[in-house]
Amino acid sequence: MRRTIGWLVGAALTATSLAAQGAPPSTDIYLVRLRAGATIGDPPENVTHRPGYDNQPAFTPDGKAILFTSIRADAQADVYRLDLATRAIARLTDTPESEYSPTPLPTGSGFSVVRVERDSAQRLWAFNAQGGAPVLLLPGIAPVGYHVWLDDHTLALFVLGHPNALEIADTRTGEGHAIAHDIGQSLQRVPGGNRFSFLQRDHGVWFLDTADPSAPDGDIQRVIAMPAGAGYVVWISPTMALTATGTELLRLDRAAGAGARWTPIADFREEGLRNLSRLAVSPDGNWLAVVAEPARP
């Protein structure tokens, strides 16, 4: 199915349309050590620490680096790489377009992005590991807001519209089909199987749901209501998830069965973090990257 640029008009604000909506809030990326059972170790470390937009972290498959989106003096959104051993930051893309949501390719050969093209189309592209050789992956699907790889050729997509749609797309055919509507921005694979999670609004309440991309209708299953203000979820294991709202991190342990609930595990108010949002977990489960608006002098 084809999507048109007209869908952008009046669409919900997402990180990928910030460039057209004015200056985004100043955000930094923090690293937090996770211990057994997803408890918090050392205080969060600010690894970007500058005025401006640093957001959308994703760990590389080897766990040695974080890819992220940064907007700097040229007002362009580009992809940067943070080396976790040295904390050195290198720019990977330097294009006239803006690139958001860098996500490692399942093949390990590079990363995919949502690219805001010169005509304002938002489509999915891939780059090699050095930030070169861009390739358009799904020419007929736009405007894409967020994405997650489910295997080497299958993706779940947040497609902007009225309402926003959850689509399953195949890069071999370039086609996608919707399995849900009125969804949130967080798309994540659930470890240990082929299901993925997303946020669904139902009668004004946000819920965490999971879906099976191999089922025609998605075989959607409800997990739990989300805490107020929480917009992102990451999975530590097949049964354990984290979310954030305000200054707090919260944990869900589905192993508790009917008694499962969101439990606060950390509050970063004293560290000066606020409006916690985007989350990412390292492949070994030892590190959490969290985006926050820092208190600046």
**Distances in Å between the alpha carbon of 182 and those of 166, 200, 201, 227?**
8, 6, 6, 18
pLDDT of residue 229: 96
Here the tokens at position 181 are 């509507």
How many domains does the structure of the chain reveal? 1
The CATH number of whichever domain residue 193 belongs to comes to 2.120.10.30
Least confident interval from 7-11, 39-43, 76-80, 177-181: 7-11
Closest Cα to residue 279, out of 239, 260, 251, 238?
251
- Residue 60 belongs to what domain range? 5-294
Cβ-based neighbour number of residue 11 at 10 Å: 18
Q: pLDDT by residue (tens digit) across 127-149?
A: 999 999 999 999 999 999 999 99
Given pLDDT bands bounded at 50, 70 and 90, which one contains residue 296?
A: low
Q: How high is the mean pLDDT of the chain?
A: 91
Average pLDDT of span 13-27: 58
CA 48 to chain centre: 18
Here the tokens at position 29 are 């990326």
Cα(91)–Cα(173) distance, rounded to whole angstroms?
32
pLDDT of residue 84: 97
Three-state SS sequence of the chain: CCCCHHHHCCCCCCHHHHHHHCCCCCEEEEEEEEECCCEECCCCEECCCCCCEEEEEEECCCCCEEEEEEECCCCCEEEEEEECCCCCEEECCCCCCEEEEEEECCCCCEEEEEEECCCCCEEEEEEECCCCCCEECCCCCCCEEEEEECCCCEEEEEECCCCCEEEEEECCCCEEEEEEECEEEEEEECCCCCCEEEEEEECCEEEEEEECCCCCCCCCEEEEECCCCCCCEEECCCCEEEEEECCEEEEEEHHHHHHCCEEEEEECCCCCEECCCCEEECCCCCEEEEEEEECCC
Q: pLDDT by residue (tens digit) across 70-122?
A: 999 999 999 999 999 999 999 999 999 999 999 999 999 999 999 999 999 99
State the pTM of this model: 0.91
Q: How many CA atoms lie within 13 A of 93 on its CB side?
A: 30
pLDDT of residue 258: 80
Cα(262)–Cα(33) distance, rounded to whole angstroms?
20
Higher pLDDT, 234 or 13: 234
Q: pLDDT by residue (tens digit) across 147-184?
A: 999 999 999 999 999 999 999 999 999 999 999 999 99
pLDDT of residue 22: 59
Judge whether 114 and 158 are in contact, CB under 8 Å. Answer: no
Average pLDDT of span 187-210: 97
Q: pLDDT by residue (tens digit) across 236-285?
A: 999 999 999 999 999 999 988 888 999 999 999 999 999 999 999 999 99
pLDDT of residue 14: 42
